[in-house]
């Protein structure tokens, strides 16, 4: 498939026709009666098990970015095969190919030039989130007036051509109330017209295990009707703070290596009371506990364990380049000018939304900054990836600037994990 190097912002007869179509439909809606799908009041998604763990889910993505849904499948250990994926950003392609298995022939660079008809019948789940700047609260909110807004129509076309059993569409919260709800109403109508039963709701990543305030609308579409409908996964109590996702806050020499962890946490050891973890009353301290792992130990949230809901991160010294100079620190800690004022806070327990423009060094009322040993620094690309739900096994193969952009444009992996468990994606595998 030839690489097409055409900018997303490019205008064309086709794009103008799409704009006209959706604008006419939106103007025909006097008022939008939108109602979010309710949350589940049953078993928490964290406690749900996949009924068909031996099945393979055939996964396809559009506007694939760095593969949030692909990483969600990896973290859950679900068998899957990537059918097709694509993104217009060549640097995203570099990151994607470094982390996932896909053939060059199944990658497309421009969705406007991509025909998915040949994949019809071979896709179980299709996931995508068209560029959101056209609807973002931060942007000018031009909606379908912005060329990027029309790319939603291309996503709907790919759904129609590939006919997945289930699709997930994600976008900014601002899309939901854009143009008094008319924009989202048009989108819902299009999804239904191409034969899908849809459910949608705004989810916040802080309600699904990630300490980042990031609200996004998620729409789940089913080709076949569900007997009992679909409810979105209910929120869980947040167990972590942004602090737990940082790299340089605890001296790694105090963490046990694998051998020590296995001994301390073994069933036999607990029976013999050699050690205890998070005990209420300390055991008698021994002079040699440093060498034979007897005594008291504390479990840290970023400690050991590799289940999907545990965050196991390396503790590393942060490079000097991420610390701010006095001049830059003075700027980011400024509340602003007469025309722009913001509340300046650092070291937040729940991070502000990770922005794709983080490399531009916004003020501390917009971006996330942390202090360590009396100095202030920005988040590292690895920390941004962590706050988007990517484990440290995820390879960062691009520059810092590109890594910040890729993290800020991604979907939070843990929100996708909650959705995959709630709908039991293995039901749709083969």
Residues contacting residue 206 through CB under 8 Å, at least 6 positions apart: 212, 213, 214, 238, 350
CB 47 within 8 A of CB 169: no
What is residue 14's predicted lDDT score, i.e. its pLDDT? 58
Q: Which pair of tokens denotes residue 289?
A: 């506990």
In angstroms, rounded to a whole number, what is the distance separating the alpha carbons of residues 324 and 372?
11
For the question of whether the overall pTM of this predicted structure is more than 0.75, the answer is yes
In angstroms, rounded to a whole number, what is the distance separating the alpha carbons of residues 101 and 210?
27
What is residue 137's predicted lDDT score, i.e. its pLDDT? 42
Q: Which pair of tokens denotes residue 290?
A: 């440093």
Q: Which of 242, 232, 196 is nearest to 36 (CA)?
A: 232
Q: Which pair of tokens denotes residue 368?
A: 């996330």
What is residue 196's predicted lDDT score, i.e. its pLDDT? 96
What is residue 176's predicted lDDT score, i.e. its pLDDT? 84
13-237+409-428: in CATH 1.25.40.10: no
In the chain, where the domains are located: 13-237+409-428, 256-297
Q: CB burial class (10 A; 0-12, 13-18, 19+) of residue 145? A: middle
Q: How many CB atoms lie within 10 A of CB 76?
A: 20
Phi and psi, residue 361, nearest 5°: 60, 70
Q: Which pair of tokens denotes residue 87?
A: 């993104």
Catalytic residue (choose from 132, 219, 384, 415) = 132
- CA angle (275 as vertex; 270, 276 as ends), nearest 5: 80
415 as an active site residue: the answer is no
In angstroms, the Cα distances linking 209 to 13, 236, 274, 344, 416 are 44, 7, 33, 25, 11
Mean pLDDT by 10 residues, the chain (430 residues): 43 58 65 86 96 98 97 97 97 98 96 94 94 46 44 88 97 83 84 94 96 96 95 95 81 53 61 61 55 57 52 83 92 81 89 92 91 88 95 96 95 97 98
Write out 326-378 in H/E/C secondary structure.
HHHHHHHCCCECCCCECCCCCCCCCECCCCCCHHHCCCCCCCCEEEECCEEEE
What is residue 141's predicted lDDT score, i.e. its pLDDT? 37
Sheet of strand 107-108, all strands in order from the earlier edge strand to the far edge? 107-108, 80-86, 57-62, 125-128, 166-172, 215-222, 197-204
Q: E strand or H helix at 85, and its extent?
A: strand 80-86
What is residue 151's predicted lDDT score, i.e. its pLDDT? 80
In angstroms, rounded to a whole number, what is the distance separating the alpha carbons of residues 107 and 105?
6
């Amino acid at each position: 498939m030839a690489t097409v190097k055409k900018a997303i912002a490019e205008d064309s007869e086709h794009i103008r026709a799409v704009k006209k179509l959706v604008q006419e439909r939106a103007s025909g809606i006097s008022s939008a009666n939108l109602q979010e799908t309710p949350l589940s009041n049953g078993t928490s998604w964290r406690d749900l098990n996949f009924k068909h763990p031996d099945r393979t889910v055939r996964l396809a993505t559009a506007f694939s970015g760095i593969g949030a849904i692909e990483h969600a499948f990896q973290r859950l250990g679900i068998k899957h095969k990537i059918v097709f994926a694509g993104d217009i950003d060549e640097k995203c392609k570099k990151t994607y190919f470094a982390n996932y298995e896909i053939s060059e022939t199944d990658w497309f660079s421009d969705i406007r030039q991509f025909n998915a008809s040949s994949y019809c019948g071979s896709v179980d789940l299709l996931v995508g989130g068209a560029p959101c700047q056209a609807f973002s609260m931060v942007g000018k909110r031009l909606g379908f007036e912005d060329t990027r807004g029309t790319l939603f129509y291309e996503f709907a076309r790919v759904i129609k051509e590939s006919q997945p059993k289930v699709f997930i569409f994600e976008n900014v919260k601002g899309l939901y109330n854009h143009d008094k709800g008319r924009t989202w109403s048009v989108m819902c109508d299009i999804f239904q017209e191409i034969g899908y039963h849809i459910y949608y709701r705004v989810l916040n990543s802080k309600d699904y295990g990630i300490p980042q305030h990031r609200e996004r609308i998620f729409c789940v579409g089913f080709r076949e009707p569900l007997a009992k409908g679909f409810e979105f996964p209910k929120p869980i109590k947040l167990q972590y703070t942004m602090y737990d996702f940082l790299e340089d806050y605890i001296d790694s020499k105090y963490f046990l290596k694998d051998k020590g962890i296995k001994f301390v946490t073994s069933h036999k050891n607990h029976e013999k009371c050699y050690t205890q973890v998070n005990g209420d009353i300390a055991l008698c301290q021994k002079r040699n506990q440093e060498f034979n792992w007897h005594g008291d130990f504390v479990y840290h949230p970023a400690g050991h364990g590799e289940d999907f809901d545990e965050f196991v991160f390396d503790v590393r010294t942060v490079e000097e380049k991420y610390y701010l100079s006095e001049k830059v620190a003075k700027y980011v800690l400024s509340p602003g000018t007469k025309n722009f004022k913001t509340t300046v806070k650092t070291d937040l327990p729940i991070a502000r939304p990770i922005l794709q423009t983080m490399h531009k060094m916004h003020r501390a009322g917009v971006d996330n900054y942390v202090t360590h040993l009396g100095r202030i620094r920005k988040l590292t690309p690895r920390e941004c990836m962590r706050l988007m739900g990517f484990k440290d096994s995820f390879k960062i193969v691009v520059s810092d600037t590109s890594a910040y952009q890729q993290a800020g444009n991604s979907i939070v992996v843990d929100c996708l994990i909650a959705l995959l468990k709630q709908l039991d994606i293995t039901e749709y595998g083969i």
